[in-house]
Amino acid sequence: MADALLVSSFLLWLVVLVLAVAVFALARQIGVLHERIRPAGALSLGKAIQAGEEAPAFTLESLTGGAVSIGGARADGRDQLLFFLSPTCPVCKTVLPVVRSIAETEGARLILASDGPPQEHRSFIDAEQLDGLPYVLSAALGIAYRIGKLPYAVLVGAAGRVIAHGLVNNREHVESLFEARRLGLPDLQAAARAATEGA
């Protein structure tokens, strides 16, 4: 009886040791994979407007007052960050403070864009305290920029050309638009492809 207990105890410890080695090996492999994966950045949709294209120009009335010029060459030398959102999109509400902060840090002019009933958007403006930002409603704007999913951002340079664009679900995605500008690439996926092809 004592021998059987010793043998079962030994086998149990052996199984625990094997499992511990397996967990260690898996943890190490996860670390290696994490090192190899580059940040993807904002996901550029295939049918969206392309980096380098001339940004469609619009002049629209803002719900927060005044006319807003979108696209086209601008004398102020500032980039425009168009943030397409919806009051009913929970991710849009979560990302909005991040978009505001990054646009301010980067010196870009943030323009909020959507479509739908104005009253719904006015309530959203009040709830989110967006009075100081241009907020335009235009289905034609979304069509011209080929926006299919939200939240979506388009970075337009002072020369009136699209610099970068993509779905933006978190801080990394928004920052990737400006990082792509610094790298002179349409998006961070292009940087990853270039690194892979160069290897």
CATH of residue 168: 3.40.30.10
Q: Is residue 115 part of a domain?
A: yes
Q: How far apart are CA 48 and CA 58, in angstroms?
A: 18
Q: Which domain holds residue 92?
A: 58-198
Q: Is residue 47 part of a domain?
A: no
Residue type, 163: I
Q: Is residue 50 part of a domain?
A: no
Render pLDDT for 80-133 as a digit per residue (tens, 0 to 9): 999 999 999 999 999 999 999 999 999 999 999 999 999 999 999 999 999 999
Residues 99, 21 share a domain: no
The total number of structural domains that make up the chain: 2
Residues 94, 20 share a domain: no
Residues 105, 23 share a domain: no
Do residues 44 and 166 make contact, with C-beta atoms less than 8 angstroms apart? yes
Residues 68, 27 share a domain: no
Residues 5, 90 share a domain: no
- Whether the model clears a pTM of 0.85, i.e. scores above it, the answer is no
Q: Is residue 43 part of a domain?
A: no
Do residues 90 and 101 make contact, with C-beta atoms less than 8 angstroms apart? no
What is the pLDDT of the chain when averaged over all its residues? 87
Residues 81, 141 share a domain: yes
Residues 83, 11 share a domain: no
Render pLDDT for 19-50 as a digit per residue (tens, 0 to 9): 999 998 888 887 666 555 445 556 665 577 88
Alpha helix (H) ranges present in the chain? 2-36, 90-106, 118-128, 139-144, 171-183, 188-198
Q: Is residue 49 part of a domain?
A: no
Q: Is residue 126 part of a domain?
A: yes
Residues 162, 67 share a domain: yes
Q: Is residue 46 part of a domain?
A: no
Distance of alpha carbon 87 from the chain centroid: 18
